[in-house]
Structure 1
Amino acid sequence: MVMPGLVSYISSTSFANEMAEMRQQVMEGQIGGFLLGGERVRVSYLFQLH
């Protein structure tokens, strides 16, 4: 089902680092607004509060 190239890319260190940075930025609410506008940032902060 999954292409071997995709698996090797996901397993690569660079991809893992990118995902780690992205998760950190999402937690900080920095890219939420960049992706879907202010609503996304508000939603992410609401999830953090609960």
Structure 2
Amino acid sequence: MPGRKWTVDEKMNIVLEGMVPGANISEVCRQHGVAQSLYYKWRDAFLTG
């Protein structure tokens, strides 16, 4: 089964939600159905432009 396609806006919003001070990355990922490894990949891409 192929994975879900995330839009750039969806990715950005999830990453920003995880960057809020005090945010729990595990909980953010669980709420959105995203693997933590994918979250960190998106975050790194977001931070490097």
Same fold (TM over 0.5): no
Query: TM-score under structure 2 normalisation?
Result: 0.39
- Specify which structure has the bigger relative contact order, considering alpha-carbon pairs within 8 angstroms and separated by 6 or more residues: 2
Query: TM-score under structure 1 normalisation?
Result: 0.38
Give the structure with the higher percent helix: 1
Q: Which has the larger radius of gyration?
A: 1
